[in-house]
Amino acid sequence: MTNMEEKYTVTVGRLDKKGFGESILWRANELGNKRKLRLVIPESLPGEKVRVTVAEPHRRWQRQSPDEVLVKHKDRVEPRCPHFGRCGGCVWQHLSYEGQLKEKEDWVKSLIEAEGFSTDLVRDPIGMENPWFYRNKMEFTFSTEGDLGLHEQGNFREIIPLKECYIMDQEMKDAVLEVGTWVKDHEFPGYDKDSHTGLFRHVMVRKSFETGEIMLAIFATEAYEDVSFAGELVERIEKKHPQVKSLLWLENRDIADVAQAEKIDVLLGRDFIYDELVGYRYRLWYDTFFQTNPTQAEKLVEIALEMVEPKKDESMFDLFCGVGTFSLPFASHVKHLSGVEIVESSIESAKRNAKDNEVDNTYFLAKDARRGIDEIIEKFGVPNVILLDPPRSGAGGKVMRRIGRTGADRVCYVSCNPASFATDIKELEAFGYKLQAVQPVDLFPQTVHVELVALMSRE
């Protein structure tokens, strides 16, 4: 232990928004004045007494895993994954699933209570029967040495080589590891973010749990034709992983370290896979946004239908509609549905998905939500129902006020971020809307994230 390090025994006060324990430590400085240190303690739980080493006591906050847990939380369990603690994929494997659901419920309640809504409106969260192997899409990154894995927790530059992953489907893991093994067999270099050199950057894998089809998308800095032994990779995948119906090579020379492509080659199969949700079939490309937990995504759709109770003589808007995840199931229950989405490729997919499923009472518009509302009202009139499923940042005050001014009877809000949801729905109160129900749904076990479906109706 260096002279700078100090050891303390502290009690964890609460969990922060990232799911880490937090404790406030007061220490006296050389003048005898009290100095506050906020300790962020991963792998700890509220009420636990832990021993921690503070490496830089002069700082105002520090992140540090516990050296030892002296008094354990009643819901503490042994983490299942050998990578837990280092890997950034999960943060709550040390908390029982019942404990996770309770934390998520309490978080949703605290957020809506802060905006003046009653916590009695929050229903018990809907969890998973099996909270493992639920993800149908994952992205992995290559280290400069060519190891394939996930980013280290809190350190974007460090990669944890993949051996196990208990939140993704196992067939997906095996297919991804085949790519990783091929890269290591031939000693190909991974991409170096500092020098902007190296060959392989990312691998994206997605699977349909309904059709069994898998897509593998390999992001590299060179063209497929210029990489030796690339044909061998195709042979390996074709022979060992017949469920891979789309093997893509995506050329990306851009300095920005994101999974994007300047050129796409289809090495095997087609450039998309088929998936199904609540009986509707969708085409998924490598960059298609689709719910990553299909089991719980179906419950989101079913809950929204149950709350809204759409009728055959009603019209409806689906804002932030994406590829039509909610649009198609709702369209069969209403007279007409209009979908709005700013991403043009998603709108094209939504149109194609509607056609594939013989849904002919929809209209899809590529425009931002606020202006899209105006254009659709001009074309089809005021809707009876508005459903919105915005990104994590929420819809925002301008969009919510525009929704309020429509005077639609019912507004159904599907949220992947209860914090932005709570501030968004507050905007509707001024327009005579009252919150009726909030149903949390756990789409991401072992993490802090929780989604919800809520209904507001105009009085």
> Active-site positions?
416
Give the Å distances, CA to CA, from 146 to 162, 206, 215.
12, 21, 21
Q: Is 379 helix (H, G, I), strand (E, B) or coil?
A: helix
Structure tokens at 269: 């199969």
| 92 neighbors 79 (Cβ within 8 angstroms) | no
Rounded CA gap, 340 and 443, in Å? 24
Beta bridge partners of 410: 385, 457
- CA angle, 128 as apex, 296 and 150 as ends, to 5°? 80
| Virtual torsion, Cα 114, 384, 331, 417, nearest 10 deg | -10
Q: Is 217 helix (H, G, I), strand (E, B) or coil?
A: strand
Q: How many CB atoms lie within 10 A of CB 80?
A: 14
DSSP string across 152-169: ETTEEEEEEE-S--SSB-
Helix (H) or strand (E) holding 300: helix 294-308
The burial class, CB within 10 Å (0-12 / 13-18 / 19+), for 313 is exposed
Sheet containing 385-388: give its strands across: 362-366, 336-341, 315-319, 385-388, 410-415, 451-458, 433-441
Give the Å distances, CA to CA, from 332 to 172, 294, 336.
33, 20, 9
Helix (H) or strand (E) holding 347: helix 344-356
Helix (H) or strand (E) holding 350: helix 344-356
Rounded CA gap, 47 and 50, in Å? 9
| 204 neighbors 287 (Cβ within 8 angstroms) | no
Structure letter (DSSP) for residue 335: S
- Helices 397-406 & 369-380 angle (0-180, nearest 10): 20
